[in-house]
Amino acid sequence: MLKCASAVCGKDLRLVLTRGAGLTQALLLGLLLVFLFSLSLDAGDRLTPQAAATMFWLASAFCQVLVFNMLYAVEEANGARLGLLLLPAPVQGVWLGKAAAGLLLLLAAQCLFVPAVFVFLAQQTGPGWPTALAGLILVDVGMAASGSLLGALSVGRAGRESLLSVVLFPLLVPLLLAGVRLTALGLLPADAPAGALAFARESAGSWLGLAAAFDALFLAAGLVLFPYVYSGED
């Protein structure tokens, strides 16, 4: 299964990076969200860390939808879905490969969103950035696992972009809440009120545990349900 997943991941990344249009659209949408929100600030104003973290994860969530629609549209446009189903390997390898490709593309997009948050929303890193980085990885893994599963659910259906958004966003609420809280901790400056820093650090363990639990749930759901979802039937 891992060999199949590696092949699917490599194939998808090559196709996306070669064509580039869909990835560019996802990146521009995320950057546009951050930039437009910055226009609501007066000169010299600084957004609160929690509000800035919310904008970061909102941009990431919309980027995720576009990325997984793009990854599954590749086979749909060329009628290659049946070929993947006939591979001499567990079909879960397709899910895992697309999840890995989506995770790498999401991380690449966030490498642009993070500087945008610093520049446009006047943020800075604080002493809690290692915890925020761990939270970002955990939340991204859960987003990739769920996006890969539900992206297969919308394949071949009219309005699949809207369908994926409607189905995916409610399931991501706990993960996004954890991401916002943990990212806000990483944006809290060292000179923030001691009480705010202490409370954020005490609650960080709970949010990390929540993100890890949802990662396990989405990974298990993908392994069990993907063969039924990605049936190849229109």
Q: How confident is the model over 23-48, as a mean pLDDT?
A: 82
Confidence bin at 71 (pLDDT 50/70/90): confident
Rounded CA gap, 56 and 116, in Å? 9
Distance of CA 169 to the CA centre of its chain: 11
Rounded CA gap, 124 and 190, in Å? 10
Rounded CA gap, 11 and 15, in Å? 6
Q: How confident is the model over 48-71, as a mean pLDDT?
A: 89
Rounded CA gap, 232 and 84, in Å? 9
> What pLDDT is attached to residue 137?
95
Answer for the pair 230, 152: CB distance below 8 angstroms, yes or no. yes
Q: Which tokens is 197 given?
A: 């820093």
Rounded CA gap, 229 and 153, in Å? 6
> What pLDDT is attached to residue 54?
92
- pTM of the full predicted structure? 0.89
Rounded CA gap, 86 and 103, in Å? 25
The tens digit of pLDDT for each residue in 84-143 reads 666 677 778 888 988 999 999 999 999 999 999 998 888 888 888 888 999 999 999 999
Per-position DSSP letters for 65-113, written without gaps between them: HHHHHHHHHHHHHHT-HHHHHTSSS-THHHHHHHHHHHHHHHHHHHHHH
> What pLDDT is attached to residue 70?
83
> What pLDDT is attached to residue 233?
53
Rounded CA gap, 29 and 175, in Å? 21
> What pLDDT is attached to residue 194?
63
Residues 57-85 as b or e (16 or more Cβ within 10 Å = b): bbbbbbbbbbbbbbbbbbbbeeeebeebe
Q: Which residue has the tokens 């593309």?
A: 105
Q: How confident is the model over 186-192, as a mean pLDDT?
A: 76
Q: How confident is the model over 215-220, as a mean pLDDT?
A: 93
Amino acid at 39: L
Of 21-30, 47-56, 72-81, 114-123, the range with the lowest mean pLDDT is 72-81
Percentage of residues of the chain with pLDDT beyond 90: 28
Rounded CA gap, 196 and 233, in Å? 53
